[in-house]
A and B are shown apart, each in its own frame.
Chain A
Amino acid sequence: MAWQSLDIQRRSATTTPMPHAREAVEVAKLIDISQCIGCKACQVACMEWNDLRAEVGTCTGVYDNPTDLSGKAWTVMRYAEIENDGRLEWLIRKDGCMHCQDPGCLKACPAPGAIVQYANGIVDFHQENCIGCGYCITGCPFNIPRLSEQDHKAYKCSLCSDRVAVGQAPACAKTCPTGAIHFGTKEAMKDHADHRIADLKSRGFQNAGLYDPPGVGGTHVMYVLQHADHPQWYSNLPKDPAISPWVQLWKGLAKPLAIGAMAAVSLAGLFHYIVKGPNAISKETEKEVENETRPE
C-alpha cells in the first residue's frame, strides 16, 4: 500500500516528504473527566477490540488494574482521592496515548516507519518496523509507550486506527457508558468541550477547562478537567508537557552531527543491520553506547 493512500503525514526516521495535497479531517477523542465514573469499560473494550489480554494481576490497595500501561494494556484508569475545600473528589483519569500533533515518540524513533502520523492526527505504531529500542518512551512527554515483554516491541493506543479508517469510533469512545469519552473531528470535540466547561462552571468548578497542551502542538486526545489549574491532581497529568529536550536536540543539533559522523560510528552497526536485521543492531549499538559512557 502506498503512503498517500494511507494519508500519512509523518513517518519516523524518514526524511522523504510525505504527500500532503489532500486535506484529511482531523479527528480527536475528548475525555471529560467530570463525566467519568471510572468503570473501565474503555479498558475492556480496548483489550477486546485489539485482541489483547493483560495479566490477571493483584489488588495493590487501589482500584488501578492493570496497575500500569503495558504492551497489552494500552489504556488504564488512574484513580486519585483528592480533598478539596473539605469535600472529597475522586478524580479518575483514563490514561493512554494523547496522539500529539507534535509527537515526541515519532521524533525520537530511529526505525523508519515504526511510528507514523496519519493526516487525521492519529499517531500509530507499526510493530513490524519497531526495533525495540524504547526511545519512543523517552521521547514521550506523557510516558505512554511500553515495550512488550513478549516481543520487545513498543505498543500503545492506536486510537483504533483500523476502526477510524472505516468510519467507526475507537472502541473506548463507542463503549463509554456515560459519554465521558466522545469522538469526532477535533473541532467538534473542542465545541463539545466548551459546552461541558460552561456546565461545570455553572456547578461551581470555576477553573474547569480543556487540556490540549500547546507544548506538543495540541493533542488528538484531550481532557475536560474540573480543575484545569491543577492537572497534577489527576494522577500527575503534566502541567506543561513538551517533547523531551533530547529529542528536540536530535532534531536540531544532533541530527546533522550524527549524519556527519556516520562512517565513524555506525559501520559496525551497519554490518549487524545487514546480517541480523534492525532489532539486533539496536541492541549492539545500545551496548556500545552504554560501554562508552560507563567509565564516567
Chain B
Amino acid sequence: MTNHWVDIKNADLILVMGGNAAEAHPCGFKWVMEAKANRKAKLVVVDPRFTRSAAVADFYTPIRPGADIAFLGGVINYLLANDKIHHAYVKAFTNAAFLINENFSFADGLFSGYDAAKRKYDPATWQYQLDAQGFAKVDDTLQDPQCVFQVMKRHYARYTPEVVSQVTGTPRADFLKVCELIADTSAPDRVMTICYALGWTQHTVGSQNIRTMAMIQLLLGNMGRAGGGVNALRGHANVQGITDQCLYSEVLPGYLGAPTDADKTRDEYLAKRTPKPLRPNQMNYGQNFPKWFASLMTAWYGSAATADNGFGYDWLPKKDAAYDVLALFERMHQGQLNGFVCQGFNPLASAPHKAKIDVALAKLKFLVVIDPLATETAEFWKSHGEFNPADPAKIQTEVFRLPATCFAEQDGSFTNSSRVIQWHWKGADGPGDSLSDLDIIGALFTRLRALYAEEGGAFPEPVLGLSWPYRIAAQPSPEEVAMEISGRALADVADPKDPTKILAKAGEQLAGFAQLRDDGATAAGNWIYCGMWSQAGNLTARRDPSDPTGLGQSLNWGFAWPANRRILYNRASCDLSGKPWDASRAVIKWDGAKWGGNDVPDMRPDAKPEEAVMPFIMNPEGVARLFAFERMLDGPMPEHYEPFETPLGVNPLHPDNPQAVSNPAARVYPGDLEALGKAAEFPYVATTYRLVEHFHFWTKHSLLNAITQPQQFVEIGEELAREKGIVNGGRVRVRSKRGEMVAVVVVTKRIRNLSVNGRKVHTVGVPIHWGFRGATRPGYMVNVLTPFIGDANSQTPEFKAFLVNIEKA
C-alpha cells in the first residue's frame, strides 16, 4: 500500500476492483465503512461476481474476468476526453510533459521493439529524448505530439465507452456512472482510493492492470494524498515483510537487484544499478545504492567483507535464468532439481496445474516440508482417493516433514500491508517437539557449516565466512536478527556536512538509512528497515496508538518502512508552493523552513519549494511515470490483451493480429501452450477466489472455520444453470484442458452472464480453499484446473481467468 489501512477512512470514493476487500481483508475494510459512515464516502465495486464487498457498495457493476485494462483504459480516456484531471498535479508531478523517442510506436497491438521469436521487447525506442546534459527534454505546454501526455491521449482514445462495454461486458451506462464518480475526485479537495489484490495480480497482464490504475490516480492527483494512493491489499500477515526481505532469486533484501552473469565485477554491477539523475535538482535517491549494497555485504560477511575483496561480491551467487515459482516447477518437471525445501508453503495447492506439480515433485530425490500443519504438499505421494490419486510405490522421493511453531509460539516481527512492522510475543510453547523456523534454519546451517569445516566440499569459503554472530549458534534469537536487519555502525559514522560530528559510534544501532555508508563502516541487513531497532530500542514493539490530528497516522505504533513514513510520496499532497491541496486532511506542508506535519516527509526536509525537488524521489526524474520507459517488460503503457484462455479467441481491439490476442511478452513454456483450452471445447470463463470464512489452504485445518464453510462448491449464474439443467445444491463436474473436479454447485443471482463482443459469456466461480487434509470435508485442490502461465513481469500465475466446461455430475 502506498497509504495504509486506517487512511482509507480519509477517502471520498473507494474503488474496490481486482479484489474483494470485505472478504479477504474484513478488518481493514472497516476503514471503508468508516469513510462511508463519517465522511459520506461512496463505495464502488467492479467485479465479475456480486461479492460481499458489493453487498455494502453504493454502486456495483460486473466485469468479465481479465478485462480490467479495457475498463481502466476507458476511464483514462473518459478523464482525458472530458478534461477531468488535476492539471497542476499532472503537469508538475508526472512525466506528462516528457518527450518520448521519435521512433516509439504502437501499431496493431504491439509496441515498437517487439521480437516475436523471443516474445520479448527491446525498450530502446521507449526512452525519453535527452538533452546534452543527459536530462530528459520536456514540453511544459503538453502540446508536443511526442510528449507523454499526447502519446497517452492517442493510445487511450480507442477505449471509448462502446469499446469498453464490448470488451468487458460491463453495461455502458454502468461504466459511465463509474467514470463520473471517479472523475469527481479530480478536484483538489476530493480524493479516491483504490483497494485491489489478487484480482489484478493473478493475470498475464497483472502488473499492467495495476499500472493502469496508478496512471488514473496520477491523472486525478490522488497519489501521496491522505485518503488516496494505490493500495495493494496483500496476502499473508507478513507477505509484505517477506517481499521486503526479498526471498526471490532476482533481488537481495531491500529490493537490491541481485547480480547476474552479466555483472562480471562489482563495479559493473554497481554502475548498472546506480541511476543518474534525469532532471536537474532531483533527489534521485537510488544514487545511494552502493551504500545499501555495501551495508548488506558487511551484514552477511562481516569482517570477511572488505573493500579489498569487493565486500565479498564474488561470494554472491549470480543469477543465470528465471527461478520464480513457475520456473522452479518447470525445472523440477524437467528433472533439473534434485532437492526442494518448502518452508510454510503448500505449492501442491498454491501453484497452478496440479497434474504438472505432481509429476514434478515425484522427480525429486528429496523434499523437505517445514510447516506447523500437515500440508498436502508433504503428502503428494500418498493416495487420497479422487482428490489425490497417487501411487506411493511409484514415487521414490524421500520426504521430510518438520514441525514448526506458529505465530503464537514465537517472538518476531511481521510487516503489514501498510508497511508497518509490528513485533509480536510468544504466548505458549508449540505442540510436541515443534521448533521455531529460526531454530530449524539455524540448526541446518550450523550442521552444514560443520560438515564443510570438517570435510571440505564445493567452494566452502562463503559458507564458512558467513557472518554468524548469534550467541547460541544453532538458535539465533529474533532480537539478534532484527538488530542485524536494522543495522549498526562498525566504525564511527560522521556527519558528511560536519565530519567532527559523530552520528553513530562504532557498535551502536543506526537511526536510519541516511547513516549508511559504502565504505564498510556500516552493516544493515535490509536498508529499507534501517532504524526499526535503533539506539532507542525496538521501535517495532512500540504500542502507542495515539493519533493527535485524527488523520489516523499513529506514528508511534510500530515502525513503518521507509523511515517510519506512513504515506508514500506525501510531498505530492501539497502544491508546488508547499501548501496542502486540501488543508482539511493535510499530511505534510512546507512551514517556511522545512517540511513537516503529520508524517515523516517523503522529501529532503530542507528542500525549498522553489528548488522544485519533485515528490517521486526514487525515480531519477523525480516525477511519476504515466509512461514507463523501463521496468515494464510488456510495454510502457498498458494495453488490453485477452487472458491466455480467452472465450473470444480474438482481442477485440486487434482482431486481425494473432500475435496480440494475449500478452505478447508473457513467458510460455513448451508444453504449456498445448495445455491451454479453446472456447469451442471449454466455453465458460472460470475465476478462482477466496471466501471470507477461509484463509487460503490454512483455515481448513481450523474446526471453527470448517464449521462456517464446510464443503467445497462452485458458483454459477441462474441462466447457465437453466441451460445446463443444473440445480442449486446438486453436484457438478468442472473440466479444464488440464483436469477436472466435482463439487456442490451454488446457483446464484450474484453471477450474471455478460454480453461480450457480441456473444454471451458465462462465468464459473471456483473458491479455492479445499484440499485432502483438514477439518473441512475433503475436496479438490482447484489448481487441477488452472493454467501454468504467469504475468509477463511478475510471473504471478493466471488464476483469475481461464476456460472450463461444466456439467451435472
Which A residues have a C-beta under 8 Å from some C-beta of B? 34-41, 43-44, 47-48, 53-63, 65-66, 73, 81, 83, 88-90, 92, 177-179, 195-196, 199, 202-203
Are the CB atoms of B23 and A39 closer together than 8 Å?
yes
For A72, the closest partner residue in chain B by CB is B707
Closest CB-CB distance, A92 to chain B, in whole Å? 6
Residues of chain A with a CB closer than 8 A to B748's CB: 81
Are the CB atoms of B711 and A90 closer together than 8 Å?
no
Q: What's the Cα separation between A40 and B710 when bound, in Å?
A: 13
Are the CB atoms of B693 and A39 closer together than 8 Å?
yes
B234 at the interface (CB under 8 A from A): no
Q: What's the Cα separation between A288 and B741 when bound, in Å?
A: 54
Which residues 57-108 in B have Cβ within 8 Å of A in the complex? 58, 60
Closest CB-CB distance, B725 to chain A, in whole Å? 15
- The one of A48, A90, A179 that contacts B52, using a Cβ cutoff of 8 Å: A90
- The one of A35, A44, A62, A88 that contacts B708, using a Cβ cutoff of 8 Å: A44
Are the CB atoms of A56 and B775 closer together than 8 Å?
yes
Are the CB atoms of A59 and B704 closer together than 8 Å?
no
Are the CB atoms of A39 and B707 closer together than 8 Å?
no
- The one of B52, B706, B750 that contacts A37, using a Cβ cutoff of 8 Å: B52
List 27 interface pairs A-B (beta carbons < 8 Å), by A numbering: A37-B26, A37-B29, A39-B23, A40-B708, A44-B704, A53-B704, A53-B707, A57-B707, A58-B777, A59-B709, A59-B712, A59-B713, A60-B729, A61-B730, A63-B746, A65-B708, A66-B707, A81-B749, A88-B50, A88-B60, A90-B52, A92-B52, A177-B26, A178-B33, A179-B37, A195-B37, A202-B40
Q: Assess A65 versus B55: contact at CB under 8 Å? Given A39-B693, A41-B26, A59-B744.
A: no
Residues of chain A with a CB closer than 8 A to B711's CB: 57-59
B326 at the interface (CB under 8 A from A): no
B538 at the interface (CB under 8 A from A): no
Would you give the 0/1 interface string for B698-728, flagging 1 where the beta carbon is closer than 8 Å to chain A?
0000011111111111000000000000001
Are the CB atoms of A88 and B56 closer together than 8 Å?
no
Q: Among B36, B55, B746, B777, which residue has the most Cβ atoms of chain A within 10 A? A: B55
Q: Assess A37 versus B53: contact at CB under 8 Å? Given A56-B775, A61-B728.
A: yes
Residues of chain A with a CB closer than 8 A to B776's CB: 56
B119 at the interface (CB under 8 A from A): no
For B702, the closest partner residue in chain A by CB is A44
Closest CB-CB distance, B493 to chain A, in whole Å? 45
Are the CB atoms of B704 and A177 closer together than 8 Å?
no
Q: Among B29, B58, B708, B730, which residue has the most Cβ atoms of chain A within 10 A? A: B708
Q: Is the interface of A mostly helix, strand, loop or mixed?
A: loop
Which residues 400-451 in B have Cβ within 8 Å of A in the complex? none
For B744, the closest partner residue in chain A by CB is A59
Would you give the 0/1 interface string for B668-689, flagging 1 where the beta carbon is closer than 8 Å to chain A?
0000000000000000000000
Are the CB atoms of B710 and A57 closer together than 8 Å?
yes
Are the CB atoms of B693 and A61 closer together than 8 Å?
no
Closest CB-CB distance, A5 to chain B, in whole Å? 34
Q: Is the interface of B mostly helix, strand, loop or mixed?
A: mixed
Are the CB atoms of B707 and A37 closer together than 8 Å?
no
B356 at the interface (CB under 8 A from A): no
Q: Among A35, A55, A59, A81, which residue has the most Cβ atoms of chain B within 10 A? A: A59
B304 at the interface (CB under 8 A from A): no
For B36, the closest partner residue in chain A by CB is A199
Closest CB-CB distance, A283 to chain B, in whole Å? 31
- The one of B36, B692, B777 that contacts A39, using a Cβ cutoff of 8 Å: B692
Would you give the 0/1 interface string for B772-784, flagging 1 where the beta carbon is closer than 8 Å to chain A?
0001110000000
Are the CB atoms of B713 and A90 closer together than 8 Å?
no
Q: What's the Cα separation between A44 and B194 when bound, in Å?
A: 29
Closest CB-CB distance, B483 to chain A, in whole Å? 35
Q: What's the Cα separation between A61 and B728 when bound, in Å?
A: 5
Q: What's the Cα separation between A186 and B14 when bound, in Å?
A: 32
- Compute the total of residue contacts between A and B using a CB distance below 8 Å: 122
Q: What's the Cα separation between A43 and B692 when bound, in Å?
A: 13
Which residues 733-749 in B have Cβ within 8 Å of A in the complex? 744-749
Are the CB atoms of A59 and B56 closer together than 8 Å?
no
Q: Assess A56 versus B728: contact at CB under 8 Å? Given A35-B33, A37-B29, A37-B692.
A: no
Q: Assess A61 versus B56: contact at CB under 8 Å? Given A37-B26, A177-B29.
A: no
Q: What's the Cα separation between A48 and B709 when bound, in Å?
A: 16
B514 at the interface (CB under 8 A from A): no
Closest CB-CB distance, B58 to chain A, in whole Å? 6
Q: What's the Cα separation between A219 and B519 when bound, in Å?
A: 72
Residues of chain A with a CB closer than 8 A to B37's CB: 35, 179, 195-196, 199
Q: What's the Cα separation between A60 and B776 when bound, in Å?
A: 15
Residues of chain B with a CB closer than 8 A to A90's CB: 50, 52, 54-55, 750
- The one of B26, B729, B775 that contacts A178, using a Cβ cutoff of 8 Å: B26
Residues of chain A with a CB closer than 8 A to B709's CB: 40, 59, 63, 65
Closest CB-CB distance, B51 to chain A, in whole Å? 9
Q: A34-B56, A203-B58 are in contact. List 11 more A-B contacts (CB 8 A).
A: A37-B26, A57-B710, A57-B711, A59-B746, A62-B728, A62-B746, A81-B750, A90-B55, A92-B52, A92-B55, A178-B29
Would you give the 0/1 interface string for B33-52, flagging 1 where the beta carbon is closer than 8 Å to chain A?
11011001000000000101
Q: Which 5 A-B pairs have the closest CB atoms?
A: A61-B729, A177-B26, A61-B728, A59-B711, A90-B55
B239 at the interface (CB under 8 A from A): no
Q: What's the Cα separation between A35 and B34 when bound, in Å?
A: 10
Residues of chain A with a CB closer than 8 A to B33's CB: 35, 178-179
Q: Assess A38 versus B55: contact at CB under 8 Å? Given A56-B776, A57-B707, A65-B709.
A: yes
Closest CB-CB distance, B228 to chain A, in whole Å? 22
Residues of chain B with a CB closer than 8 A to A48's CB: 704
Are the CB atoms of A178 and B56 closer together than 8 Å?
yes
Q: What's the Cα separation between A177 and B693 when bound, in Å?
A: 13
Are the CB atoms of B710 and A83 closer together than 8 Å?
no
Residues of chain A with a CB closer than 8 A to B29's CB: 37, 177-178
B30 at the interface (CB under 8 A from A): yes
Closest CB-CB distance, A196 to chain B, in whole Å? 8
Q: What's the Cα separation between A44 and B693 when bound, in Å?
A: 9
Would you give the 0/1 interface string for B3-41, flagging 1 where the beta carbon is closer than 8 Å to chain A?
000000000000000000011001101100110110010
Q: What's the Cα separation between A59 and B54 when bound, in Å?
A: 22
Are the CB atoms of B744 and A58 closer together than 8 Å?
yes
Are the CB atoms of A37 and B704 closer together than 8 Å?
no
Are the CB atoms of A178 and B22 closer together than 8 Å?
yes
Residues of chain B with a CB closer than 8 A to A57's CB: 707, 710-711
Residues of chain A with a CB closer than 8 A to B710's CB: 56-59, 65
Are the CB atoms of B52 and A83 closer together than 8 Å?
no
Q: Among A56, A60, A73, which residue has the most Cβ atoms of chain B within 10 A? A: A56
Residues of chain A with a CB closer than 8 A to B750's CB: 81, 88, 90
Q: What's the Cα separation between A58 and B746 when bound, in Å?
A: 12
Residues of chain B with a CB closer than 8 A to A88's CB: 50, 60, 749-750
Q: What's the Cα separation between A183 and B479 when bound, in Å?
A: 40
Are the CB atoms of B58 and A65 closer together than 8 Å?
no
Closest CB-CB distance, B588 to chain A, in whole Å? 30
Closest CB-CB distance, B59 to chain A, in whole Å? 9
For A66, the closest partner residue in chain B by CB is B707
Q: What's the Cα separation between A88 and B57 when bound, in Å?
A: 11
Q: Assess A43 versus B708: contact at CB under 8 Å? Given A34-B56, A37-B56, A179-B30.
A: yes
Residues of chain B with a CB closer than 8 A to A203's CB: 58
- The one of B56, B704, B729 that contacts A36, using a Cβ cutoff of 8 Å: B56
Are the CB atoms of B747 and A54 closer together than 8 Å?
no
Closest CB-CB distance, B703 to chain A, in whole Å? 6
Q: What's the Cα separation between A62 and B52 when bound, in Å?
A: 14
Closest CB-CB distance, B778 to chain A, in whole Å? 11
Would you give the 0/1 interface string for B335-372, flagging 1 where the beta carbon is closer than 8 Å to chain A?
00000000000000000000000000000000000000
Q: What's the Cα separation between A92 and B23 when bound, in Å?
A: 14
Residues of chain B with a CB closer than 8 A to A195's CB: 37
Are the CB atoms of A56 and B703 closer together than 8 Å?
yes
- The one of A53, A56, A178 that contacts B30, using a Cβ cutoff of 8 Å: A178
Are the CB atoms of B27 and A177 closer together than 8 Å?
yes
Q: What's the Cα separation between A37 and B711 when bound, in Å?
A: 20
Q: Among A37, A57, A202, which residue has the most Cβ atoms of chain B within 10 A? A: A37
